Amino acid sequence: MNVGTSWNILRPETVESLMYLWRLTGNKTYQDWGWDIFEAFEKNSRIASGYVGLRDVNSGEKDDKMQTFFLAETLKYLYLLFSPPSVVSFDEWVFNTEAHPLRIVPTHGSNGQSIETAKPVVRPFGRKQGKQG
């Protein structure tokens, strides 16, 4: 990627970041930004058969393809951004780099005994709301 480019192929990274930030802080600003992104996709990239990228966001010139990651990742993260955290709990699931959820399972030591896995710290609210619990 280059600074100063004016194309948009509907990549998932920004929406993914917003989803994680909302889940960890509870700050609805991240959902607002995600909704703005979704509305921009609807306004600028929606066509009769799906969504396409933009060759130039300034002119609105569209390209002629919908990248597979748009459906597989970008829309998945948008869905999760507006779903309750219980839909895919971060205490039970982790996402790989292609946005596939993988269940967290306990590991076993050489003696067959279960090894306790560390529970992630989940902060449902931002620092301004103070510590919970």
Q: Rounded distance, CA 20 to CA 18, Å? A: 6
Residue with tokens 């067959």: 112
Token reading at 33: 């930004």
97 a known binding residue?
yes
Query: Which residues fall in the annotated binding site?
Result: 97
Query: Which residues fall in the annotated binding site for Ca(2+)?
Result: 97
